Structure 1
Amino acid sequence: MFAGSPALNQPGPTEFVFHVFTAVPEFQVLLFLLFLLLYLMILCGNTAIIWVRAHSSLRTTMYFFLSYLSFVEIVYTTVVVLLMLSNILGAQKPIPLAGCGAQMFFFVTLGSTDCFLLAVMAYVRYVAICHPLHYTLVMTQKLCVQMVVCAVSLAPFLSLQLTSLILTLPFCGHRREINHFLCDVPPVLRLACADIRVHQAVLYVVGIVVLTVPFLLICVSYVFITCAILRIRSAEGRRRAFTCSSHLTVVLLHYFHCTLVYLRPQSSSSQDEDLQFALIYTFVTPLINPLIYTLRNKDVKGALIKSISSKGTGEAL
């Protein structure tokens, strides 16, 4: 039905342009500075965690996974921000289909890895709090490495299947505007000039594997963790409860908005809502997570201050 469409038969390779937040120059500058500031805060917060893990005695299993999570979130945000900032201030710069596919692949891969690591970290918390005497026997270095390898292997496999399938779709016209700030799956699917029911079904399957299954594992882990913490009647128990509740809040925020974007039916979803939700799991959760483990964690703060002070003393000598 699309073969005779003039828009579909336009010559030239398919290109996309991103929706500009605003055309008012003053607002463009404010948005540019705001997102740049958020990106720098994400970069500094997550880099601090990696630095502490590498230059201090905090080499426990939790910080092993947290350092990997911080690295993933740095790259995850960078994949989006650099192109986003260039489009806010400048004119609408077209991105070819291959470039859009590359950004989509890395974004889905890193986002999926993020979800898997959050589930793994919830399991680590469960073992540490509910079975402290068996913690060192269960959470061996070999098991930790295997879980990281599984996370970083499964994520690109799923992302490649989804991205390659979407890139085979025909798109009406030579240049299309994406009502988003990145080449995410739902807004690109809306621009296709073909039946996307199969692609939508694949997206749901990937979404269930990436979002629903890890989320259920996190919920089960925190149910057992909560029961164990309620039996601890001490200041240490309250501290653990606060830390766990803070981390669980970030996890719920991340999974809730991702689910609304990727698992909600297209007919009931709004492009503007998807854009707002994407801002939350692209900027807010990567920013809040390191704050919980730095500003709210005296061990991390102490190790960071000690590392900086020792480095400064060494340079002075």
Structure 2
Amino acid sequence: MTTPGGPEGTAAERGAAFRSGFACFVGRPNVGKSTLMNALVGTKVAITSDRPQTTRRAIRGIVHRPDAQLVIVDTPGLHKPRTLLGERLDSLVRSTLTEVDVIGFCVPADQPIGPGDRFIARELANVKRTPVVAIVTKTDLADPETIARQLLAVQELGDFAEIVPCSADRGFQVDLVADLLISRLPEGVALYPEGDLTDEPEQVLVAELVREAALEGVRDELPHSIAVVVEEMAPREGRDDLVDVYAHLYVERPSQKGIIIGHKGARLKEVGARARRQIEALLGTKVYLDLRVKVAKDWQRDPKQLRRLGFYD
């Protein structure tokens, strides 16, 4: 008989211990950390892009199971910082590594092991008390022989608790990744209410969806210069089926502003339409989205502007 806790009942009904705790994904930029977290959570809680350094904050996604609650912390990619923003992102990753119960070290199947992977493996070797599960991501982009070689190459990088290949896009072994991470969590009670998928405020999620839309199709150097702040978000007065969102996109130079706006505003309209669809799916209601593009000169290097844009010390 199927019970409310699932085919085999809840952890308590099976006499098993309930486990709860935190895991983080770490890796160099653009190795599929955010895509994997979204696949594990079962919905989009972190934006994704083929541009490096898309993730700029530690976003928590919550995986609910009858016998466990796994809170995944998606971190920015570790890299050699070139700006004050980069330094703060690297500091955020290192502090996260010391606060979680298990670490998922993500390495893509379709790219050779490089200096960035070796650097992170050395960093992880210094985190003595926290088990590390090596995750070979993006297996859908590599043939079996390449995946086998990558698994052997990852094995040489360090002494990992487990090494597992997976594809978040195809759903290949995503559940196994969750199993391996959960098995290393301590026994404990649920940390978040059932049904919560993230603890990120809605305005932050909306700002991230706007930034994701703006990242599509821009020049290689531009993504690092885009920041988004939702200035106001509230239901339209007298309407319970419409939310007004007013957001500012910040770039560092006037020339970048022109790229975002496009000829006669065409590109900004495209960004708005793409973002609005995602925001409506997130909020479950119709959305009026007002986007304005502003220049905040060299904001990535300015402590005051970083604070104003939400990147704190």
**Structure possessing the higher radius of gyration over alpha carbons:** 1
TM-score where L is the length of structure 1: 0.21
Higher helix share: 1
TM-score where L is the length of structure 2: 0.21
- Which protein, 1 or 2, shows the higher relative CO under an 8 Å CA cutoff with sep ≥ 6? 1
Higher strand share: 2
